[in-house]
Structure 1
Amino acid sequence: MVGKDDPYLQTVTILEKIKATLNELGASLDDVIRTRMFVTDISRWKDFARAHNEYFGKIKPATSMIEVSALIDSSMLIETKVTAIKE
């Protein structure tokens, strides 16, 4: 697990994976229209949001941050889902 107990690093890591996947498909972060962040501790929202803003601050997709009781791995602090449309 990258960034154990580090919400910022976990968010950056997942956004880098999403960016790479989009690039493989001929798309980019600019094509993202919606993001959903599922977090295990909403009180740490500033750390999640800081990383999200670094990637999507200029794009401004519709965004939700939802607190969940747990993720599949107890060391995971965030799971992120994006929707992108490539025109």
Structure 2
Amino acid sequence: MNDRREYSTGTTWEETFGYSRAVRIGDQIRVSGTSAVEDGEVVGVDDPYRQARHILETIGESLAELDAGPEDVILTRIYVADFSLWEPIGDAHREFFGDVRPATTLIEVETLPRPELLLEIEAEAVNH
């Protein structure tokens, strides 16, 4: 029995690379690395808090499409272009998840797909 469900936001990157924004198999959900881009434009240029909030809201919408929510997230991985931006990103993460408090890893990377992007977040969730 194949209980795989995929969700796509229809971005060019999803089509070009052949991936889904999120995939659910059984009670496991994975949300692909998500950046602060909407309609081809970077949201919150030079604002790590705003970018993080936008990303987390996109992740929340992706989870909702697969019958889950932020309360089901058990892990986030945050890729940052500059580790010194951790505080506003952490503020957005804490506000979004509240008492859920998923396990989290913050990783500094050399570059992201566009220079205006300050971070990218991926998530894993379990929803029974």
Name the counterpart of 1:62: 103
TM-score (norm 2): 0.66
In structure 2, the residue corresponding to 1:58 is in which secondary structure? helix
Deviation at 1:2, TM superposition (A): 0.5
Alignment of 1:1-87 (within 5 A): 1-87=42-128
* Larger helix proportion of the pair: 1
More RCO (CA 8 Å, sep 6+): 1
* Larger strand proportion of the pair: 2
Which segments of 5 or more consecutive residues in structure 1 lack a partner in the other structure?
Answer: none
Query: Which structure 1 residue ranges, 4+ long, deviate > 6 Å from structure 2?
Result: none
TM-score (norm 1): 0.97
User: How many residue pairs end up in the alignment?
Assistant: 87
Q: CA RMSD of the aligned region, Å? A: 0.7
